[in-house]
Amino acid sequence: MGLIILIIWFSLIIGIPFGCFGSYERTLLSVQKQKALFVFGDSLFDPGNNNYINTTTQFQANWSPYGESFFNPPTGRFCDGRIIPDFIAEYAELPLVPSYFEIGKDHFVHGVNFASGGAGCLVETFRGFVIDLKTQLKYFKKVTKDLKNKFGRKKSKQLLSNAVYIFSAGNNDYFNFDATYPKHEYANMVIGNLTSVIKGIYKEGGRKFVILSLGPLGCTPGSRALNFQQGNKSGNCIQQLTTLAKIHNSALPKMLKQLEQKLPGFKYSLFDFFKVASERINNPSKYGFKTSKTACCGTGPFRGIYSCGGKRQVKEYKLCKNVKDYLFFDSGHLTEMVYKQVAELLWNGTVDVIQPYNLKSFFHLPA
């Protein structure tokens, strides 16, 4: 029952608007050397895709104070400002990667963001309210078809093979954990679905994949608030959730190495988001924050009730005075400052957090 309550608070670990592009002729000449970023996953990466689907406000964030540090009006990002793919696009000298529902006719040669707040690797995770990973793959296939129609098979193949494909996926599957399954068996199903989607992108021409491990899921303000309300007045992390994340993370390297062995030209980079997030949660002042337990926006213990902006089931919320002091913006999502630090490590981090390639080298790696 506890996990069900937890789901309602922060089921969305999710990213993005778009820039302008040159003429068709100019695009055609440059497309073979074109850098592109395709984004898949959940609320860590969602740029506002959930604005366009038939869902509830539990799975949206397109109102104030979301976006307040950068976007006006809010875009639907589950953050006070920019999220990880926004910064990666900036470092790669790309426009902001557009939401799938905002790509228009030509706005896909620099990549597309398919991520959806609340989405999981499993189709069953918040079915009917989100764009699950399998459906994100279906949308990607529509984009590749458009690319082939526009530029021809040869040029589109080169663009797709040079592009980088980045994933934040699995978080919501564990917030939505089905306790009728043994933990490892459940994790194998999640990893299996993720593997299937990666293979689907590979079949369409993708070759360079970046996977984020899961963070310490039991240490969000929402988890601490739930623990508090269940009698643990110290507000400690929920170890069951963090254990599930660790089981998932331990399976990722093996899965990626197997794909590398089986699929010619397949390249990957694995980012240790668990380590990076844990370091900041355990020692916030080292990274420029004053608190890692309490959210900037929300209500209840640790502001861990998922009410930021007053548009969800709980209407009451409080907003901090200085968001830069906080690791978490709401009950389950980090602030722009944290996402920028994460993106910097993704871009030029060392092997202790990202391997075998950081994104700076990965973008320039020949397919």
Which of these is catalytic: 43, 116, 168, 331? 43
- Active-site residue, 43 included: yes
- Active-site residue, 333 included: yes
Which of these is catalytic: 42, 132, 173, 330? 330
Closest CA to 144 of 157, 135, 154: 157
- Active-site residue, 110 included: no
Q: Catalytic site residues?
A: 43, 330, 333
